């Protein structure tokens, strides 16, 4: 048995799905299924805002059978999440049947250093004393949240649990540096590469059609922070032979819907689509855009999820500046642009020539992305932890201190 503690929003009842997080969690579930066929997801997302007690059910995620423990929910999500911090014993009780049938877990994976995940890290470490992995996605204070105290609560519980993990996957080198004093076994994981995506550079190379049509993809959240507003403007300015494909949802969804209806095919808004459908859209594209607001404005605590996917697909990536510290070889084929419509337009219009000049670098970067961040690499790392009894961290919090 393996356990995943994560806020999975793949079926959020309000329709507010975190696309990047949900896709990474599905990737982790697929990888965990290579370790054990008995997977338990402790879902901390609070997808419902109806008052309901903790429950357990069996679901299927991308063909993998999962036992899901859904935490108790309330009519207020923030209040519900606060009360969830007290649910550790209830989660352990809900696991009784699985433990009786399969024994204690081989491995436990935590998605991000959120409060509940860190509370459960302490509970599970004390109960099971098995290897635990933290996937550290965002530094707590990377975004300016004003008077919102959630980052401070998350940080407090992370400090209490940081010394317990056998391995940490960090979103970038900045987060890695913050973790390293407390867990030496820390690796970069700025994105993940599903096996199906890794086949695209060979099976469906970009700029391979006889016509002069150019297809562009934008697959981030539809909000200004991600640069979606720039994509809307680009659809008005690019020549007629350029088509922009957009997926996903967000505050600007209505504008994309309206623009797609009036643009006669220059902008195609696909909306929320499955991973298989997304793969087909990516395969039809020559260029992928990452117009995210510069990461330096987020205290270097983030890394856009779609960037590694874009590189691994073998498409030409046009992106705002990013730090590739620790995996520089992936950046050699990227066109970097300023966070402006003018510069993105200029770089897109010169993209075919750039691709022809940098084709070998783009192909090499795609292969490197798959090697570093593909499922095989993650599975091998997990298997080594399971096979090594010395991988479990000492049951002491004395070595932790404030960062």
Taken in order of first residue, the domains within the chain and their CATH numbers are: 2-192+376-391 (3.40.50.2000), 195-373 (3.40.50.2000)
pLDDT of amino acid 263: 76
pLDDT digits (tens, 9 = 90+) for 165-201: 999 999 989 899 999 999 999 999 998 998 889 999 9
In the numeric block, which tokens belong to residue 259? 């623009």
Nearest partner of 235 among 210, 252, 249, judged by Cα = 252
Q: What's this model's pTM, rounded to 2 decimal places? A: 0.87
pLDDT at 389 over 80: no
What does DSSP assign to residue 39? E
pLDDT digits (tens, 9 = 90+) for 29-86: 999 999 999 999 999 999 999 999 999 999 999 899 999 999 999 999 999 999 999 9
> Of the ranges 23-27, 90-94, 150-154, 262-266, which one carries the lowest mean pLDDT score?
262-266
Give the pLDDT mean for 293-307: 73
CA 99 to chain centre: 29
pLDDT of amino acid 399: 45
pLDDT at 395 over 60: no
Burial 233-245 (b: 16+ CB within 10 A, else e): ebbeebeeebbbb
């Amino acid at each position: 048995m393996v356990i995943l503690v994560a806020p999975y929003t793949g079926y959020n009842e309000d329709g507010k799905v975190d696309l990047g997080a949900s896709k990474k969690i599905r990737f982790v579930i697929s990888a965990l299924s290579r370790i054990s066929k008995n997977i338990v997801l402790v879902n901390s997302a609070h997808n419902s805002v109806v008052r309901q007690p903790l429950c357990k059910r069996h679901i299927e995620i991308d063909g993998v059978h999962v036992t899901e423990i859904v935490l108790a929910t309330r009519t207020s999500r923030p209040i519900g999440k606060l009360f969830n911090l007290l649910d550790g014993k209830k989660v352990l009780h809900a696991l009784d049947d699985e433990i009786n049938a399969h024994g204690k877990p081989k491995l436990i994976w935590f998605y991000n250093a959120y409060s509940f995940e860190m509370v459960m890290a302490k509970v599970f470490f004390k109960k099971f004393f098995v290897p635990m992995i933290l996937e550290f996605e965002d530094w707590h204070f990377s975004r300016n949240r004003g008077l919102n105290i959630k980052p401070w609560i998350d940080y407090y519980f992370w400090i209490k649990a940081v010394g317990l993990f056998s391995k940490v996957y960090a979103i970038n080198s900045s987060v890695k540096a913050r973790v390293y004093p407390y867990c030496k076994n820390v690796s970069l994981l700025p994105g993940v590469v599903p096996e199906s995506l890794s086949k695209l550079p060979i099976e469906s190379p970009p700029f391979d059609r006889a016509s002069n049509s150019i297809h562009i993809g934008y697959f981030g959240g539809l909000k200004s922070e991600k640069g979606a507003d720039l994509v809307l403007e680009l659809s008005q300015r690019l020549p007629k032979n350029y088509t922009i494909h957009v997926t996903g949802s967000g505050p600007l969804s209505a504008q994309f819907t309206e623009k797609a209806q009036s643009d006669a095919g220059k902008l195609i808004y696909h909306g929320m689509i499955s991973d298989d459908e997304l793969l087909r859209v990516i395969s039809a594209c020559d260029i992928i855009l990452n117009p995210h607001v510069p990461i330096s404005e987020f205290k270097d605590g983030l890394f856009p999820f779609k960037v590694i996917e874009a590189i691994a697909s073998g498409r030409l990536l046009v992106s705002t500046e990013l730090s590739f510290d620790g995996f520089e070889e992936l950046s050699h084929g990227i066109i970097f642009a300023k966070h402006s419509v003018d510069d993105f337009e200029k770089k897109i219009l010169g993209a075919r020539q750039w691709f022809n000049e940098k084709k070998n670098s783009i192909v090499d970067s795609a292969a490197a992305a798959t090697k570093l961040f593909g499922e095989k690499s993650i599975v091998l790392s997990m298997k080594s932890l399971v096979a090594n009894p010395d991988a479990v961290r000492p049951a002491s919090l004395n070595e932790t201190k404030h960062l």
